[in-house]
């Protein structure tokens, strides 16, 4: 991820919509980051595996990957051609991010602050966050809620099946900012 001429740092809060209790991350990214690179950052900080399509939505426009093999009934702007600073120009403004159109993981992205760039600051970085990302392909937020209920009840008929599907224990409260930043450093700062 090559980012040129950083002037401002954007402090963004990403919240997974309809998650109760809330699942969110706070990140710092260059204001010059394009939406394609922001997608990569969001996948890492949220804990997704980038196994599905995605889109950003701002001002009634859709931004995503340009692929002639994809046939949508709507116009999709090339996300690599737009910087976050072009869509979020003032603090408190929001855009939407949707990942996996089947499960429809919808996120709200809020520009909390525009900060001056400090030369010693490595970007992107995750500042903090709460709770684990739901597992991929669990049926969206409603399927995730049901999964958590099944996992809490060891007598539930699907309890062991869901543990096997998950590959073992799952701690819905766990979020490790240091682990997340190690992955960001490896994948985004090289």
Residues 72-129 have pLDDT tens digits of 567 899 999 999 999 999 999 999 999 999 999 999 999 999 999 887 788 999 999 9
Q: Give 113's contacts (C-beta < 8 A, 6+ positions apart).
A: 10, 11, 91
For residue 68, what are its two tokens? 């002639």
**CATH number of the CATH domain containing 126:** 3.10.290.30
Q: Is the pLDDT of residue 190 over 80?
A: no
Could you give the C-alpha distances from 178 to 25, 69, 171, 184, in angstroms and in order? 13, 38, 17, 10
Domain that holds residue 49: 8-133+173-188
> Which DSSP state fits 173?
T
CA 41 to CA 160: how far, in whole Å? Answer: 33
User: What's the predicted TM-score (pTM) here?
Assistant: 0.92
Residue 119 forms part of a structural domain = yes
CB 84 within 8 A of CB 56: no
CA–CA distance, 124 with 29 (Å, rounded to integer): 5
Q: In this predicted model, what pLDDT tens digit does every residue of 119-152 receive, in sequence order?
A: 778 899 999 999 999 999 999 999 999 999 999 9
C-alpha–C-alpha distance, residues 79 and 65, integer Å: 6
Flag whether 140 is in a domain: no
């Amino acid at each position: 991820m090559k980012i040129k001429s950083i002037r401002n740092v954007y402090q963004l809060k990403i919240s997974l919509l309809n998650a109760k209790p809330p699942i969110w991350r706070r990140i710092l990214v260059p204001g010059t980051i394009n939406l394609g690179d922001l997608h990569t950052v969001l996948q890492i900080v949220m804990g997704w595996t980038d196994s599905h399509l995605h889109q950003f939505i701002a001002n009634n426009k859709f931004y995503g990957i340009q692929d002639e093999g994809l046939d949508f009934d709507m116009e999709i702007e090339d996300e690599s051609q737009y910087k976050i600073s072009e869509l979020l120009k003032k603090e408190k403004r929001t855009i939407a991010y949707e990942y996996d159109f089947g499960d429809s993981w919808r996120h709200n992205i809020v520009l909390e602050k525009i900060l001056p760039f400090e030369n010693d600051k490595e970007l992107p970085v995750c500042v903090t966050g709460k709770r684990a990302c739901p597992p991929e392909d669990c049926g969206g937020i409603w399927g995730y809620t049901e999964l958590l209920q099944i996992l809490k009840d060891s007598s539930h008929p699907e309890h062991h099946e869901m543990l096997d599907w998950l590959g073992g224990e799952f701690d819905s409260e766990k979020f490790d900012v240091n682990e997340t930043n190690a992955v960001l450093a490896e994948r985004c700062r090289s």
